[in-house]
Amino acid sequence: MQIPQKRVTKLIDHHKVAAFPPQPRLKRLLEAAVKSPEVWNWRDSSASACTNLILLDIDMTDAIRPLIAGNWKMNGLKAQVAEFDAMLNGAADVTGRADLLVCPPATLIAAFADRARGKKVTVGAQDCHPKASGAHTGDVAAEMLVDAGAAAIIVGHSERRADHGEGDALVRQKAEAAWRAGATAIVCIGETQGQRDDGQTLDVLRGQLDGSLPDGSSAANLIVAYEPVWAIGTGLTPTSQDVEQIHGFIRELLTSRFRADGARMRILYGGSVKPSNAAELMAVKNVNGALVGGASLKAADFLAIAKGCP
């Protein structure tokens, strides 16, 4: 069917899309909006859907712009600044394909942010406390991380959920804390091997999305990262067909709850992403980038993954 030009132009203008027509993936979403305007009502969309954050910008000229985010986990000393410098030096070759984000340990955020100023790589953090301040020995507030230079904060990573017993309610509070401080929240979800074997994957993900994503989530303030727990650090990855099914399911849930914003939120894939499989994974429908673990510690590997974006 042909989308009525006047109606689509109104929708596009509201969300500051720069060009018409859109790429096929967005066009299908717009066609669905015309068929069922109650599902995607631009008049009711929040103003935050029209805003951008630093390099975590969503370029809707063609499609959702990919983001390659590196999670350094509990790795990195001052000596690793040289590796980050190599990422900065090579970023210009890949930023035509994707935005780049590196989340080092909290001890390195300020140093990395200083070096990244004016460059093509954004710096983030790996976790935060839900409170802005107080008697919480050893914890770090989102405001502190942003003050050090973080533009995004990962919350709800499976290692936090498993090692520290963090549940969906706490993850939601941490996402809200990231917003309070002015950062983008990257909310992680994923099933364990046992849950997968028992056929519970979709139910687990539905529960995590319902419980972990705050009301008011938008394409400008939240990113979802799907990381099957059984694939993290194991070298195992789901098939492309599995990833497409899961990401499509996540997209449906996001669009149902958040309407236009849900259709525009980035959904990252994580779990043993490496240069050898990046291009295949990044070509999957509804995969809008990657959350990269071990491979993000080396500039050559991290940049090679970004080159895999279509």
Q: Which residues are catalytic?
A: 157, 227
Instruction: With CA atoms as reference, report the closest residue to 69 among 24, 30, 122.
Output: 122
Helix intervals (H) in the chain: 5-14, 24-35, 81-90, 106-116, 142-148, 158-163, 168-181, 193-197, 201-212, 240-258, 260-264, 275-282, 299-307
What are the backbone angles phi and psi of residue 205, rounded to the nearest 5°?
-65, -40
Q: How far apart are CA 256 and CA 16, in angstroms?
A: 22
DSSP state string for 203-245: HHHHHHHHHHSPTT--TTTEEEEE--GGGTTTS----HHHHHH
Q: How far apart are CA 121 and CA 60, in angstroms?
A: 20
Quick check: helix, strand or coil at residue 247? helix
